[in-house]
Amino acid sequence: MRSALDKKELSATELTETYLENIAKTDSKIESYVTVTADIAKEQAKAAQELINSGKSSPLTGIPLAIKDNICTEGVKTTCASRMLENFIPPYNATVMDKLNAQNAVMLGKTSMDEFAMGSTTQTAFEKKTKNPYDLNRVPGGSSGGSAAAVSARLAPAALGSDTGGSIRQPSSFCGVTGLKPTYSRVSRYGLIAFASSLDQIGPIANSAEDCGYLLNAIAGFDRHDGTSANRAVPDFTSKCGQGVKGLKIALPKEFFEEGATDFVRKTVLAAAEKYKSMGAELIECSMPSLKYAVPAYFLISSAEAASNLARFDGIKYGHRSEKGSTYGELVLNSRSEGFGREVKRRIMLGNYALSSGYYDAYYGKACALRQEIRAEYNRIFETADVILTPTAPRTAFRIDENITDPKMIYYSDICTVTVNIASLPAISTTCGYDENGLPVGMSIVGKMWDEETIIGVTDTFERNFTKISAKAVK
C-alpha cells in the first residue's frame, strides 16, 4: 500500500473509501467494530494525500488502521466494550495515537474486545460480540478479537491491540493473522485503559510479521507520561526480514506441546519446527516445568491488579451512574453492579480476595514468587537458544455455543501465552497450518527482551514459505 500510494497508483482517499465500503457491507456479520469513524477517516485521508502529493509522506501516511477500544482517542468514544464506559469520550489521546497521527495514518474506527480486556473470546463485550471470519459460529479469540477479526476479514489492513496474557496473539491465531506482543515497556501504556499494569502492552496485528514491524517502528519509544516506559533507542524492527534462519537455534519446551494441546495443533507446530530445520535452523529440546502453574499465577497477579485499577469506576467521578441509591455507598454499589459484566466482577472479587488480609502471602505473594521462577526458566533456555517456538493456543477456534461460560476452560486456553507477559518478553504469533474445518493453527516465536527484530525476522522467514488461506466466511 505504501508503494502504491507513493507511486500515485491509488489515492489515500480511494484506499480509505474501499475499507469503509467493506466495513459497511460485511461488518454487520462480523461485528468487529464498536465505532466506525468514517468522517474522521475521510478527513485524515484527504490530509494524508496532500502530504503524499507534496512528497512529505511517512511510512504510515494514508494507511488505514483499526484501534482497539481500550486505547484512548480524543473526541471519539472509548468504551472498553463495557456498559461502565458506554458513553465515555476521552479528552486526550493515548501516546500511540499521537504517534500514529504524527505519521498521518487514518483511523477507520474502534474495534470490539472482551470487556476491559478480560477474556479470550470477545463474547464478554457489552454489545458487539465479534465472530470469527473463518466461521461465523466460532469465537475470534480475545481480548483483541475485534482487531484480529477486522484484519482477517479485510476490514482493515492492520490494527492495534493490547496484550495482557495473550490478547493479541491468541485472537491472531484464531483469525489467521499475525500479532506481536512487544517487550514490556517498549511501547507507552499512557492512554491505555489499564487491566493489569505490570502485564499490559500495546502491539500491532497485521497480515505479516513485516507489517507488524512497520507498525512497531511507529509506536515504540520512550514516553515521559508513562513511568514504566523504557528509555531505549528504537531500532528498525524490520531489519532482519528476508535474512533467513540459517544457524539460528530454536528451543522447543516440551511442556507447551503437552499441556492440553490437541494432537493436530502439536503435530502442525512441530511440522513448522521441521520446516525451520530444513531452512538451516537448529532445534533444541528443553523443559519449562513451571508452565503447569502459570495460569493460576497469571490470574492471581492480573486479577489483583485489575481489582485495584477498576476501583476508580464508581459512578461518581466518571463511568456508568446508577439511578438507584439514596446513600453514597448504595450509589457506588449499584453503579458498579450495573456497569460491570459477569467476568469483570469475577476477576475483581478474585483479586480482592487474593490481596485481602490473611490471604496475601498465600496467594498473591506466591504468584509473584512464581513470576521470578518463570523468568529464570526463560533465561536458562535463552542461554543456549536464540528464540523459542510454541503453539499459540492449545486448540483452534471453538464454537460460540460451546461451554464458553466455564471460566476454567476459558482461562486454560491462555496457557501457551501467559508466561510471556509474566516474564515481560516479546512474542509474535503467525499461522502455520489449518485443521480439517479450515481453521487456522497459530504458532508463537518468543524472543529475548528487547529483541523484537529477531522474532519478526524468524516469523517473516516462515511466512515467505507458507501460503495463508483467506477466511471463507467473508468471501
| Catalytic center residues | 68, 143, 167
Q: How far apart (Å, rounded) are the C-alpha atoms in residues 463 and 475?
A: 22
Contacts of residue 311, Cβ cutoff 8 Å, sequence gap at least 6: none
Question: C-alpha cell of 276?
Answer: 525451520
**Would you list the DSSP string of 290-330?**
THHHHHHHHHHHHHHHHHHHGGG-SSSSSS---S--SSHHH
- Whether residue 402 contacts residue 410, with contact meaning beta carbons closer than 8 Å, is answered with no
Place of cell 518463570: 374
3-state secondary structure of 65: strand
Q: How far apart (Å, rounded) are the C-alpha atoms in residues 236 and 356?
A: 45
Beta bridge partners, 253, equal: 286
Q: How far apart (Å, rounded) are the C-alpha atoms in residues 411 and 294?
A: 11
3-state secondary structure of 432: strand
3-state secondary structure of 180: strand
Question: What is the residue type of 330?
Answer: E
Strand order in the sheet with 440-446: 33-36, 106-111, 64-68, 158-163, 201-206, 178-181, 427-434, 440-446, 387-391, 249-253, 282-286
Q: How far apart (Å, rounded) are the C-alpha atoms in residues 280 and 274?
A: 10
Q: How far apart (Å, rounded) are the C-alpha atoms in residues 248 and 240?
A: 12
Helices then strands, counting H and E runs in the chain, come out as 15, 11
Q: How far apart (Å, rounded) are the C-alpha atoms in residues 30 and 279?
A: 38
Q: Are strands 440-446 and 387-391 parallel, antiparallel or unpaired?
A: antiparallel
Beta bridge partners, 202, equal: 162
Q: How far apart (Å, rounded) are the C-alpha atoms in residues 214 and 208?
A: 10
3-state secondary structure of 470: coil
